Amino acid sequence: MKKTTKIGIIICDRYRDCAGGKCFRAMKNRDGAFSIYDKDEHLEIVGYTTCRGCPGGNIEYVPEEMVKNGVDVIHLATGFVVGYPPCPYIDHFRRFIQKKYDTKVVVGTHPIPEKYYKTHSSLGTWDSNEWKEIIEPTLATEEVRIEYN
């Protein structure tokens, strides 16, 4: 019997109208931050919502409902990283959810699209060691990044 991992996804409110296509494709293909899961593992979405805008009003409450629905891992979507400016609260969100809800948190969902990678690289947005660590799960090859443009 396949192991099932229940996933919650929280997206940046800037992208509140996003239907989740890149996130769900990456989950299916095990691209980006979903590469941590075994291809044979069944992944089930148990929650998908926004942070509700700066400074993340839903971050305090949404994980509780996801935990009640059996979430194993909460992903903070790639939009938190690629938007300009990137979310200044992302590390606070990650630490808060992990501590308050004793739940694993992964920063990222789909790979960073190449167009965002080029912009942020030219601006030096992710040059710090902290940002290099944050984007690592979603930093795919150029070929994969182009597929997610």
Instruction: List per-residue pLDDT tens for the chain, 149 residues long.
Output: 689 999 999 999 999 999 999 999 999 999 999 999 999 999 999 999 999 999 999 999 999 999 999 999 999 999 999 999 999 999 999 999 999 999 999 999 999 999 999 999 999 999 999 999 999 999 999 999 999 99
Query: SS3 breakdown of the chain: % helix, strand, coil, rounded to 5?
Result: 45, 15, 35
Domain count for the chain: 1
Q: How far is the C-alpha of 138 from the C-alpha of 49, rounded, in Å?
A: 20
Q: How far apart are CA 104 and CA 140, in angstroms?
A: 22
Read off the CATH number of the domain in which 31 is found: 3.40.50
pTM over cut 0.85: yes
Whole-number Å distance between alpha carbons of 50 and 57: 9
Domain that holds residue 62: 4-147
